Amino acid sequence: MSALPHLSDLAAAPLDSLRADVWRAASLAPACAETVPTGEALLDAQLPGGGWPRGALTELLQDPGVHAEWRLLLPALAQCGTGPVALVAAPHRPFAPALQAQGLDAQRLLWLCAANASAADALWASEQALRCAAIDAVLAWLPQARPEQLRRLHSAAAEHHKLLFVVRDARAQAQASPAVLRLHIGPDADAALRVHIVKRRGPALQTPLRLAARPAVLLRLLAAHAPLQALSPVPALQPVRQHHTGPAAPPVRRFAA
């Protein structure tokens, strides 16, 4: 008799119990590390482990000029810890009051490479931030990063157990990437967020997800204005009326005398 198990026995064996990084083609991989919930149940259901992987590279791809990363990442960043969140080479000035109102404390924001840093400097600063014990998450805008440089960041994140998000141009989608999770994000109709999971440890997802991913108060404001919107898609030029009696009357603020 052969000592080898029969093929049918092997198929019947619980594959999940063999190794954490082996999974069936039709199902999602088991979580091999700790994950942080994304705050969107629809997205959590599609991600291995039910959230953003800690200690691995997550890549966000966006079309040029689109900046939708905050709405997707804010819930996770707000609850990932109490240490600083490093923003490396951010394309614009982050607006701390709005981020704090959505849960990410302004004291936790650390903006690195704020002034005209080169691509090499941004990579260096990202790696230094990953190697810092106090920092909880690193969010880096690296449009020109090459795969081997991303791999280096990935291993630094794995070594120090950090959340790492790299934001890149959607044109990089054809390139190979060491990221365990790649998402193509962009605005959709009705101010929703379209999330297309390009790469994950699991079966390919053909249809993009549609997420609201907005603070509830903003959604309510937009819903309240929707009837007006239906009447005139592009309002005429005198939108400011002194006797405005709409649902959101213009709050006039003055400097307290």
Partner 1 sequence: MNPYWLALGVPASAAAAGRAGEGGLAAPLLALGWWSLQFTPWVAQIEDALVLEISASERLFGGRQALVQALLDPVHAPLVAHFAHGATALLALARLRIAPLCTPQALAAPVLAPDDLPVHTLAAAQAHLATLERLGCRTWGQLRALPRGGVARRFGAGMLGALDQAYGTAPETYAWLRLPEVFEASLELAAQVESAPALLFGARRLLAQLQVWLRARQHGVQALELRWQLDARRANAQHHDAHHSGTGIGRLEIRTAQATPDPRHLERLLAERLAHVSLPAPVLVLALRSLQTCALPGQSQSLLPETLHTGDSLQQLLERVAARLGPASVLLAQLQSDHRPECMQHWHSPASAQRPIPTRDAPPAAAALYPSWLLAAPQGLGLTPDGAPLWHGPLALLAGPQRLEQQAWDTGPGVQRDYYIAHSQAHGLLWVYCERLAGAQAPQPQWYLHGVFG
Residues 159-198 that bind partner 1 (CB under 8 A): 160, 186-187, 191
Q: How far is the CB of 16 from partner 1 (least distance, A)?
A: 28
- Residue 114 as a binder of partner 1 (CB under 8 A): the answer is yes
Between 10 and 217, CB nearer to partner 1? 217
Between 16 and 159, CB nearer to partner 1? 159
Rg (CA), the chain: 22
166-182 as b/e, with b when 16 or more CB fall inside 10 Å?
bbbebebeeeebbbbbb
Between 152 and 200, CB nearer to partner 1? 152
- For residues 193 and 68, is the Cβ–Cβ distance under 8 A? yes
- Residue 27 as a binder of partner 1 (CB under 8 A): the answer is no
142: exposed, middle or buried (Cβ count in 10 Å: 0-12, 13-18, 19+): buried
- Residue 30 as a binder of partner 1 (CB under 8 A): the answer is no
Which stretch, 34-42, 174-182, 197-205, 230-238, contacts partner 1 (CB under 8 A)?
A: 230-238
- Residue 65 as a binder of partner 1 (CB under 8 A): the answer is yes
- Residues whose CB falls within 8 Å of the CB of residue 152, separated by 6 or more in sequence, listed in order: 123, 127
List the one residue from 15, 28, 78, 109 that touches partner 1 (CB under 8 A): 109
Measure the N-to-C terminal CA separation of the chain; round to a whole number of Å.
95
**How many CB atoms sit inside 10 A of residue 193's CB?**
20
- Residue 14 as a binder of partner 1 (CB under 8 A): the answer is no
Between 49 and 84, CB nearer to partner 1? 84
